């Protein structure tokens, strides 16, 4: 009977998907129609009878029947009742139908494009869940939510209709001016407000640059080891990715293949992700010369530039550029909170108009009330205050983590070393080449500690072993408690690597 089928199907949907009752009934009736359990032209029981048979309210039944009527599965005839439409498509019953119904046909995965397969299997970000030692994560628990809500409410109350529309000028003008002032003073970027484009963050900035400055199949030099987000952005835009090795001075153009000249060069010179290397001045000059020689564009991701704990601040690479070949990008996610989804891209003056037009056509930018609230947040000094507090908090956490790891650095044989601790929200514990960083990371994961093996960030290299350890999201108490656990696990692993093998027993 129809009611028995519907009850069984609704029970399954309620258990598996927790759908509301009217939706459970809609899905169950729709399946009955598609599988032919209700043939074309057949009259449905009245809503009153269905409600009684299924022990549902009549409103629930009417809502489901009305939705199926709107979608063309059912037709109502005044004075006669509701009937199955003659044009309802049929599908085969059985396991194949069940797989399609539940979206579980594994064969469809094989129909992804080559690009789609690569995007879904390379550097999967679903593994980067927020845990205390996960690199790249900031502590947004201290963000002044009350103040932020008041600013947003203020601008929603006074918002004009054009603030609710798309924006074709590159972003809210006061915010672009505030970004300009900040970058001039703190990062030595040479710019004016017309060169600033407000984006949803670094990913959108990278994709816009790739689309505007390179064609499908052009070569982009990417640091190796690499930031996974940049790799994904370039894969998605059809560029040929050429890994270029990073050393203690940053990306090394001499290590690049001479037969693979770049159209784009992506770098994180202030705090290379993930090694933490700071690009030296000679290497910066060499990179600018390389870009000039190849007529290439440098994409400078000023990652973690806000947090410098020892020595003077490192100026931007863009500040050294005299040829207008550097595009500079940053984000507010590390100082405010990740979900704000606001960043900025600074483009050379001759490119500004074209970039704004393309940004408008491709991305339909908006969020003007939020941009207005952020502009006021910066102008009133709240951004600077939040940055000062964050620097102080992160400096304490960094020092605590360094103290916990310090015993490792005095190991007598093949001691680890730390790179990237002068700046940013993570450091890199470099291990001997015969260590197994992935195995160590798995051991720590079983203890509830999430760190990242350095080798997993590599594309063409096999000579790097290490752990990328974040402290931005780790409370001081967690570092004090868990930092020694990391050190102990690493020490045990290194000792196992260098322990002399027992001599084999002579054959009898």
pLDDT digit string, tens, across residues 340-370: 889 999 999 999 999 999 999 999 988 888 9
Rounded Cα gap, residues 466 and 457, in angstroms: 10
Query: In this predicted structure, what is the pLDDT of residue 213?
Result: 97
In the chain, ranges of CATH 1.10.10.10 domains: 2-101
User: What residues contact residue 339 under an 8 Å CB cut-off, 6+ apart?
Assistant: none
CATH topology of domain 2-101: Arc Repressor Mutant, subunit A (1.10.10)
Q: How far is CA 176 from CA 156, 198, 375, 417, 472, in A?
A: 19, 7, 8, 41, 27
Token pair listed for 260: 């693979």
Q: Find out whether 369 and 149 touch, Cβ atoms under 8 Å.
A: no
SS3 245: strand
pLDDT of 114 higher than 60: yes
Torsion angle (degrees, nearest 10) of CA 248, 254, 259, 260: 40
Lowest mean pLDDT among 11-25, 69-83, 140-154, 164-178: 11-25
Query: In this predicted structure, what is the pLDDT of residue 95?
Result: 45
Q: Find out whether 437 and 399 touch, Cβ atoms under 8 Å.
A: no
DSSP code at position 446: H
Query: In this predicted structure, what is the pLDDT of residue 164?
Result: 80
In the chain, ranges of CATH 3.90.1150.10 domains: 386-498
For residue 482, give the H/E element and its range.
helix 476-498
What's the pLDDT band for 165 if we cut at 50, 70, 90? confident
Query: In this predicted structure, what is the pLDDT of residue 498?
Result: 62
For residue 330, give the H/E element and its range.
strand 326-331
pLDDT of 101 higher than 70: no
Query: In this predicted structure, what is the pLDDT of residue 96?
Result: 45
Shortest CA distance to 283 belongs to which of 316, 258, 250?
250
Token pair listed for 278: 């700071």
Quote the strand ranges of 370-493, DSSP E: 417-419, 426-430, 452-453, 466-470
Q: What is the pLDDT of residues 318-338, one digit of tens each?
A: 999 999 999 999 998 888 887
Query: In this predicted structure, what is the pLDDT of residue 144?
Result: 82
Using alpha carbons only, give the angle 176, 331, 215 rounded to the nearest 5 degrees. 90
pLDDT of 317 higher than 90: yes
CATH topology of domain 120-126+144-381: 3.40.640
What's the pLDDT band for 201 if we cut at 50, 70, 90? very high
Residue, of 208 and 136, whose pLDDT is higher: 208
CATH topology of domain 386-498: 3.90.1150
Q: What is the pLDDT of residues 405-418, one digit of tens each?
A: 998 887 666 678 99
Query: In this predicted structure, what is the pLDDT of residue 39?
Result: 84
């Amino acid at each position: 009977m129809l009611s028995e089928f519907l009850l069984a199907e609704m029970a399954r949907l309620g258990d598996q998907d927790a759908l509301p009752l009217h939706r459970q009934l809609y899905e169950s009736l729709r399946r009955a129609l598609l599988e032919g359990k209700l043939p074309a032209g057949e009259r449905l029981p009245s809503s009153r009878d269905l409600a009684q048979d299924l022990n549902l309210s009549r409103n629930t039944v009417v809502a489901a029947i009305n939705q199926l009527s709107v979608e063309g599965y059912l037709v109502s005839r005044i004075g006669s009742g509701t009937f199955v439409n003659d044009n309802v498509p049929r599908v085969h019953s059985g396991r194949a139908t069940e797989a399609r119904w539940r979206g579980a046909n594994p064969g469809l995965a094989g129909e992804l494009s080559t690009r789609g397969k690569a995007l879904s299997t390379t550097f999967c970000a679903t593994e980067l869940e927020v845990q205390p030692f996960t690199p790249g994560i900031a502590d947004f628990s201290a963000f002044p939510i009350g103040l932020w809500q008041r600013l947003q409410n203020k601008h929603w109350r006074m918002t004009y209709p054009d603030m609710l529309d798309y924006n074709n000028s590159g972003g809210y003008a006061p915010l672009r001016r505030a970004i300009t002032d900040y970058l001039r003073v703190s990062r030595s970027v040479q710019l004016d407000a017309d060169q600033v484009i407000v984006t949803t963050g670094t990913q959108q900035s990278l994709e816009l640059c790739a689309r505007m400055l390179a064609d499908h199949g052009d070569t982009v030099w990417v640091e190796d080891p690499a930031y996974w987000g940049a790799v994904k952005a370039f894969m998605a835009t059809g560029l040929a990715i050429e890994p270029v090795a990073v050393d203690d001075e940053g990306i090394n153009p001499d290590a690049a293949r001479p037969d693979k000249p770049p159209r784009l060069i992506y770098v994180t010179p202030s705090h290379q992700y993930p090694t933490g290397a700071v690009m030296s001045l000679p290497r910066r000059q060499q990179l600018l010369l390389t870009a000039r020689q190849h007529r290439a564009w440098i994409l400078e991701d000023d990652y973690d530039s806000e947090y410098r704990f020892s020595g003077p601040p490192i100026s931007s690479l863009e500040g050294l550029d005299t040829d207008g070949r550097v595009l500079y990008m940053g984000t507010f996610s590390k100082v405010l909170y990740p979900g704000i989804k606001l960043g900025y891209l600074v483009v050379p003056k001759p490119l500004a108009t074209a970039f704004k037009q393309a940004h408008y056509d491709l991305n339909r930018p908006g969020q003007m009330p939020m941009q207005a609230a952020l502009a006021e947040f910066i102008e009133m000094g709240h951004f600077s205050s939040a940055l000062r507090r964050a620097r102080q908090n992160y400096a304490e956490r960094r020092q605590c983590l360094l103290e916990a790891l310090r015993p490792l650095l005095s190991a007598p044989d093949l001691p680890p070393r730390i790179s990237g601790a002068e700046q940013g929200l993570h450091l890199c514990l470099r291990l001997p080449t015969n260590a197994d960083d992935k195995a160590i990371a798995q051991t720590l994961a079983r203890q509830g500690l999430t760190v990242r093996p350095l080798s997993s960030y590599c594309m063409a290299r096999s000579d790097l072993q290490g752990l990328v350890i974040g402290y931005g999201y780790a409370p001081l108490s967690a570092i004090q408690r868990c930092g020694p656990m990391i050190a102990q696990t690493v020490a045990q692993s290194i000792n196992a690597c260098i322990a002399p093998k027992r001599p084999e027993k002579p054959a009898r």
